[in-house]
Structure 1
Amino acid sequence: MGNVSDFIIQGLSDTPELQLPLFVLFLIIYLFIIIGNLTIFSVILFSSDLHTPMYKFLQNLSIIDISFTSNTLPALLHRLITQQKKISFFGCLTQLYFYVSLGCSEFCLLTVMSYDRYVAICDPLHYIIRMSEKHCAWLISTTYCVGFVSSVGYVVLLHKLSYCASHVIDHFFCDLIPLLKLSCSDTFNVEILTYVSGTLLTLSNFLLTLISYIYIISTILKIQSTHGRQKAFSTCASHLTCVIILYMTLLSLYMKPTTSYSLDRAKFFSLLYSVLVPLLNPLIYTLKNKEFLIAFNKLRQTVKYFISRVKTN
């Protein structure tokens, strides 16, 4: 652990005039993320028509997105409004642990969702058997286990490092590579773990997703009617969009040596990774989803009815 007890989070900008505008901007974004993902979670929870594997996975994606964003944005908002930038060493490692764990869990869950679409389109006759309630529960549990177990090594190795240089983290949260840049110890083991586990986890999820979509696309192309092809592709278009955005931001962030790591560039892509995907997921998955919109309108009417009854009483 060295001689460090806390760190200073530098944040996005030291310009005083920008603190309030940034606070308002990220507060609005955070509220949109929370409201959007809570809406998805609630509609699926209270609509029996949506109690299917695809929507159960989507519900868990909302949980991960809420947790992932809440791990970084509230702390950022607090620093912007109070200018209190200090964070304890253990608080920093805890934030990093949940950041990595939830990010890994999201990748695994998106892979599971691609498998679900593969079974639905390529093997629909066995969908009920292959995506049974027990099987879905096992898949969801596995995504969380992989994410939260695979991240333990980072925290253990980071805890053993000495931090005898500056204690100022040039970032808006405790990210892995900015922490490594502050250490005066040999960080080779942490970097190897990052590349090996990151590559294995990312590559395995990418290949499984890619294989699923190769089969999906080949099956869709065999459908004779144009309407049938469009309907089949629409069931996986939203998921494919989120996968592309997530992989692009992750590769831009971490798949390179620390020597070529730009802190300003990292802040930008970290913001995209932390904000863009959780913000877009509710829009991508619901705007053109007729089943969800019908369930949402039913729930909205039910809530209106109960509110009117309460007012009359």
Structure 2
Amino acid sequence: MEALAEVVDRLERYVEDYVAEATERARSLHRTARKLLRPALDGVLARSREHVERRMRDDLLFAGSPGAVRDVRQIVGELIPFFAPGGRFETLLERVHGSARDVVRRVHKHVENVRARNIRIETLRDRSREMARLRDEDLDAVNAWVNGLFASAHVVTDLRCGTPEERSALPRPARRYEARRAAHRGEFLADKRGSPGQSHALERLRLLQLGRFVDDKILQGARRASLGTAALTGVDDFRWLLEAVKVHDLRAGRARKFLSYRVVRPGTDGAPTARARFILSDGHLDAPDLAFTRAGPGSRHG
């Protein structure tokens, strides 16, 4: 076994030496090929080409035509990218190196497994010899030790009411925080009630209520008033104010023609640029000091 391990080690060293030698020779070939294509050697390559063609014409053993021999410069030009760093040769060499290392690794693993198995066999042999030399008064202790050794293989370790034939499900991982949610139970959709006309009527009622809010809290009988002079008394008034501005500006102002007021942004149409601040017991509001005006018949301002 030791001899086999030594052979594997020598094989691994041979592979590494082979790859290193091939890499060094590839670099040397690449440098030499680049030197051959220097302009100073063009005349030498041309004369060698003429010599080869003359030899092929004069020698009867060469039955082919002179054109069948490739030009040296063409061959050298193809060798340069092949042996260049990162080229085709390096890729192929790396592939061969990887395959060889994989084979060596497998052989190493097999040798280690065989060695471990031999060690276990030798250990069992030694223990068997020790048991064979036991005295009669030691047999009870040895039997108890052997029974305890093999009894561990028959212990049922499933503590969740399982059996060796039918194991219970694995326990869920413990979670520090887990919120139990009630199972969602789907219900039937409620029957539709009302009509489109009723929906439009409810929307008109909401717009009318917003107009009344602006008249009572902001305009207070005037045709034009700023938000800073509004008489807001609570958070509910803040909500009504936001709804009034949203309905006026959102959806491209589609509902604006049904409103009794108009909102002028700060900085346009003479509206003030200050801030309107309301500090009440149940909340506070900081907003641009918008200008509210009463919308007359046919008014399209805003």
| Fold equivalence (TM over 0.5) | no
Q: Which one has the bigger strand percentage?
A: 2
Q: Which one has the bigger helix percentage?
A: 1
Higher RCO (C-alpha under 8 Å, 6+ residues apart):
1
- TM-score category (smaller protein): under 0.3
